[in-house]
Amino acid sequence: MKTIENDARLPDWLNAVLNSWPLCLDTDSIDTLFAVAWDEDGIYQPGSQSLFYNGYFFLRITWPGGIFLHIKLSADRRYQFGLGYKLNGRFGVTWRWGQTDAAAAVGVQGPNTGQATGWTRGTA
């Protein structure tokens, strides 16, 4: 399945480019090579769940190329960085500096439906 995204902050032509190969791949082409998370319940490997996580630390490396890092240094501030293919098949650059829990739930383009709702495990 191919995920089509339309970011309202970008011009239509750029959304079209980002939704085309090789910047948008079938989700079956993306795999998590390595993922580790640390939250109040301990350290574990989350598999291929949501891109980021509401713990203290989260690292994911994807195939065919991507690295995504989440660090939560205080109770309501998260720092997220990423470059490469996301689990939905889209190539992306992620940069969230000091994001609050409320801002994460609201999302950039609307609610994070199916992502980060209810936090699948633990908190920080």
Share of the chain above pLDDT 90, in %: 35
Q: Where do the DSSP E strands lie in the chain? A: 31-39, 42-44, 57-63, 66-74, 77-85, 91-99
Choose between 112 and 16: higher pLDDT: 16
Q: What is the pLDDT of residue 117?
A: 46
Strand partners of residue 116: none
Please state, rounded to an integer, the average pLDDT across all residues of the chain. Answer: 82
Report which of 43, 25, 47, 52 is spatially closest to residue 34, judged by C-alpha positions. Answer: 47
pLDDT at 114: 47
pLDDT digits (tens, 9 = 90+) for 23-75: 999 999 999 999 998 888 889 888 776 656 667 899 999 999 999 998 988 77
User: How many Å apart are CA 16 and CA 83, to the nearest integer?
Assistant: 19
